[in-house]
Amino acid sequence: MNRRSFLSSLAIAPAALRAQQGPPREERVESLTAPAKPAIAMNHLGFPPKGRKTLIYRLTGGEAPEEFLFRDIGQPPAPFQMRRPLKRVSSDFGDCLAGDFSDIDREAMYQVTAGAERSVPFFIRPDLWRRTLPRAVGYYRYQRCGVEVPGVHPVCHLDDARRRDNGERIDTVGGWHDAGDLRKWMSATMMNGIALIALARNLGEKWDLAGSGLAPLLEETQWGNRYFLKMQDADGRVFADVGGGLNGDNSDNHWTDNLAGTSDDRYLNPSKSGRIQAMFVALEAMAAEAWRGRDNAYSKRCLEAAQRCWNANTRGGGTLDLAWWLLAGVELNRAAPDQAVERAAIELGAQLLSLQVADFAGAQKLIRGFWRADGNSPEPYSQAVDSALPALALLELAKALPNHPDAARWRDAVRLHFDEYVLPMSARSAYRIIPVGVYYGAPTSEHYRPLEGRMSYRYFLPVRKQFWWVGTTSHLECYALALATAAKMFGKTEYRDLAWRQLEWVMGANPFAACLMTGEGMRHPYPHSRYVGLIPGGILNGIAGNVNDEPVLDIEYGYDWRTTEYWSPHNAYYIWALSVLES
């Protein structure tokens, strides 16, 4: 066959094939579009063969379709398609139609048609989530500081850093840039190391389907940990950040000449907050365990750093600090069993239990089991990043000490939180996402959704409380992690399914039908990443809310950092949660 005949056959064959297969009528409708605000919301990756598979169709006016068409678009030997009903469901984000095809486990690439709209093509296959892990992990290499990253930036910040308070120089070269900027916050970037070690712990050599083994995870963790170990002061405690500015401003967010002692040298923040100390202990204890038997000298160094920090600090604080200290105690005792550390962890667990609201509060009888923010205030705990950490910390304590007399109380507290707070609150939205928090009344001059009695809630952070508010990506991923961990402990499928729904929102099952990981899915917002641009595998701050608690996302290239900036915790909680779900 000559070239002209071959090209002609390419044009003719599909038409002949279509005639033989008899395509569904909907596929010939010229009005099928990919609109600016799609009605169809689905996870862009697809679905494992076993598990819940859900389609959301947003009602935006006009005639509502009664069914959706589900078809294989991979040109199999025999066509495969079916119709399924769409059922109206009430939802806080407006009434929707929902379709279920959980019974379909046939592996292929599919597409859904509903009304006059096609969905993003998606897979049903068992490995589709795990295929994203190398990209999510690879994001960290792009964020390396103190070294050339080919194709991204030349060697940078070899002059880090001088102390804010006295100008003393401390070698803090290395680590990772935290977000769409050049700063190195300990609280955020230590999450990278924790997630990488958790991935190695939970999935082992099989984390990467390409067979790269554990070496990439361990190498990347060691790269970041060089910086973290440099940030430990002589007293055993660790500093807060490098590059955060002279007075916490944005003045250090710049490239430098790499020459120490010149005017563009960046600053080290010598403050030492309790939460950062706890995270450091947890990370170094995890590293000590991970390197034991691989590099015993390095393992010993990490363990000694963790023990010095643990002993140098008074452990306590509000709910979030207690949760991190509890995780730190569990990990430290796991790395080096010690009765004093174990007793401290048990006491931290007791303090955390004392902050749970076990009775109905706020003149309502709908929810209970959430936490108070601290022991001095009745205000409920609400957090943009570590929202489910209290439950996760108690789960890890129960896992570490399953036969302790209080272990049943720790497990019951988690079940109470999930069964009587998380499940009913997530049911108020067709997307099944967990609101960012509940409140007494309206703490700020904006809309809080009424619950019952004096209690209200918001899906997104209040925007009039403070200047700093962001999308809820880490909040949802943190809950995915805690729910996945609880599903394994209690054998409850409902927890596992809800964990997946939180991740599906991040991957496109949201009102904007936008995938929030660069390099996966479709309709990505352009990231607020002013120094290096697109980073494959980077995950955005995500969908936030306005004063009316309506979802907002910059999909019009507005460079809005609140919704489109990369940030370390998003990748960390994604990797950590997925490592548990996949295990």
Q: Is residue 83 part of a domain?
A: yes
Classify 441 in phi/psi space as left (phi over 0), alpha (psi -120 to 50) or beta.
left
Share of the chain above pLDDT 90, in %: 88
Closest alpha carbon to 67 in 111, 34, 103, 114: 114
| pLDDT over 90 (residue 576) | yes
CA 581 – CA 566 distance, rounded (Å): 23
CA 417 – CA 371 distance, rounded (Å): 9
Closest alpha carbon to 388 in 132, 573, 194: 573
- The identity of residue 438, as a single letter, is V
Q: Is residue 108 part of a domain?
A: yes
CA 420 – CA 418 distance, rounded (Å): 6
The answer, yes or no, to whether the previous bond of 161 is cis (omega within 30 of 0) is yes
Q: Is 450 helix (H, G, I), strand (E, B) or coil?
A: strand
Share of the chain above pLDDT 70, in %: 93
Q: How many domains does the chain fold into?
A: 1
DSSP state of 64: P
| pLDDT over 70 (residue 527) | yes
369's CB contacts (< 8 A; 6+ apart) are: 356, 357, 358, 413, 416, 417, 418, 419, 420, 421
The 3-class SS string of 406-443 reads: CHHHHHHHHHHHHHHHHHHHHCCCCCCCCCCEEEECCC
Burial call 137-153: b when 16+ CB within 10 Å, e when fewer = bbbbbbbbbbeebeeeb
pLDDT recorded at residue 61: 78
For residue 42, the domain's CATH number is 2.60.40.10
pLDDT in tens, 248-306: 899 999 999 999 999 999 999 999 999 999 999 999 999 999 999 999 999 999 999 99
Q: Is 165 helix (H, G, I), strand (E, B) or coil?
A: coil
pLDDT recorded at residue 248: 80
Q: How many CB atoms lie within 10 A of CB 123?
A: 18
pLDDT in tens, 407-450: 999 999 999 999 999 999 999 999 999 999 999 999 999 999 99
Q: Is residue 101 part of a domain?
A: yes
| pLDDT over 90 (residue 66) | yes
Q: Is residue 91 part of a domain?
A: yes
DSSP state of 565: B
Q: Is residue 150 part of a domain?
A: no
Sole residue written with tokens 């597409």? 111
Distances (CA, A) of 224 to 139, 196, 221, 227, 455: 13, 11, 5, 6, 43
Task: Please name the helix (run of DSSP H) or strand (run of DSSP E) that holds residue 562, with its range, or none.
Answer: helix 561-564
Q: Is residue 149 part of a domain?
A: no
pLDDT recorded at residue 36: 58
C-alpha torsion sign, points 329, 335, 337, 340: negative
Specify the range with the lowest mean pLDDT, choosing from 63-77, 424-438, 517-531: 63-77
Domain that holds residue 78: 30-124
pLDDT recorded at residue 79: 80
Q: Is residue 99 part of a domain?
A: yes
Q: Is residue 63 part of a domain?
A: yes
Q: Is 290 helix (H, G, I), strand (E, B) or coil?
A: helix
